[in-house]
Amino acid sequence: MPMLLDQLMHDCQLDLDFKMESVDMPSTTDNLEMKVKVKGMGEQKVSMNTDALVSKTGAFCVLQKVSENLGKAFAPFVEPLLPIVFQHMSYAHSKAIKKCALKIFKSMLTAVGEPQNVQLIQQAMPMYIEQLAKALERHDEKSAKIMIKSLANNLKALGRENETNR
C-alpha cells in the first residue's frame, strides 16, 4: 500500500499547466492549444497538459475508492494525504477532481474518528463557506449544490461515526 500511495500522491500533485494567452503571442508551451473567443477579451489560446489531467483524475478516483473501502484502516494514510485533499476540495480546473476530493475527505473523517474528525471538519468549514459564497455570487447552482451536498454528507458521517463511538 505505501508504494501505491506514493504514486497516487505524486499523480495527485501533477501540474496541469493551464494557460490562456492572446492569439497574437507566440506559444510558450508544448501542450495542445485551442483557440476560443472570450467575451471582453477577444480570441485567446487555451492550453493544458491533458496527460497530467487524466493521471490526476485517475489518481483521485482510485484514492476515493481505496479510502471508501478501507474504512477505519485508512486512518494511517490520512495525515500525508490531508494537505493534498484540502487543496483539491476547492479545485477550479476539474469538477471530477473536486468531487473525488470531497468524498475522500468524508472517508478521512470516518477513518480518524472522534475527536480528530471534529477538528478536521472545523478546519474545512471556512473553505466550504468560501466556495459556497463564490458559487452563489456566480449563480452557479451546480457548484453550490455540490458543496452543500458534500457538507451535509460529511456532517451525517461525522454524526454517525461519533454516535457509534459513545
pLDDT in tens, 91-127: 988 999 999 999 999 999 999 988 888 999 999 999 9
What does the pLDDT look like over 29-75, one tens digit per residue?
A: 777 788 888 888 888 888 888 888 999 999 999 999 999 999 999 99
Reported for 19-26, long-range contacts at CB under 8 A and 24+ positions apart, including other chains, are 19/45, 19/46, 19/47, 19/48, 20/44, 20/45, 20/46, 21/45, 21/47
- Give the mean pLDDT of 126-130: 95
Of 2-6, 82-86, 132-136, the one with minimum mean pLDDT is 2-6
Domain range enclosing 95:
2-164
What string of DSSP letters covers 52-121?
HHHHHHHHHHHHHHHHHHHGGGGHHHHHHHHHHHHHHTT-SS-HHHHHHHHHHHHHHHHHH-TTHHHHHH
pLDDT at position 78 is 92
pLDDT at position 107 is 94
Quick check: 165 pLDDT over 70?
Answer: no
Q: What percentage of the chain reaches a pLDDT higher than 90? A: 60
C-alpha cell at position 32: 495542445
Total tally of structural domains belonging to the chain: 1
pTM for the full model?
0.85
Sheet holding 19-22, edge to edge: 19-22, 42-47, 33-38
What CATH number does residue 110 fall under?
1.25.10
pLDDT at position 136 is 94
Give the CA distances from residue 87 to residues 5, 47, 81, 106, 128, in Å, rounded to whole numbers and listed in that order.
17, 22, 10, 15, 12
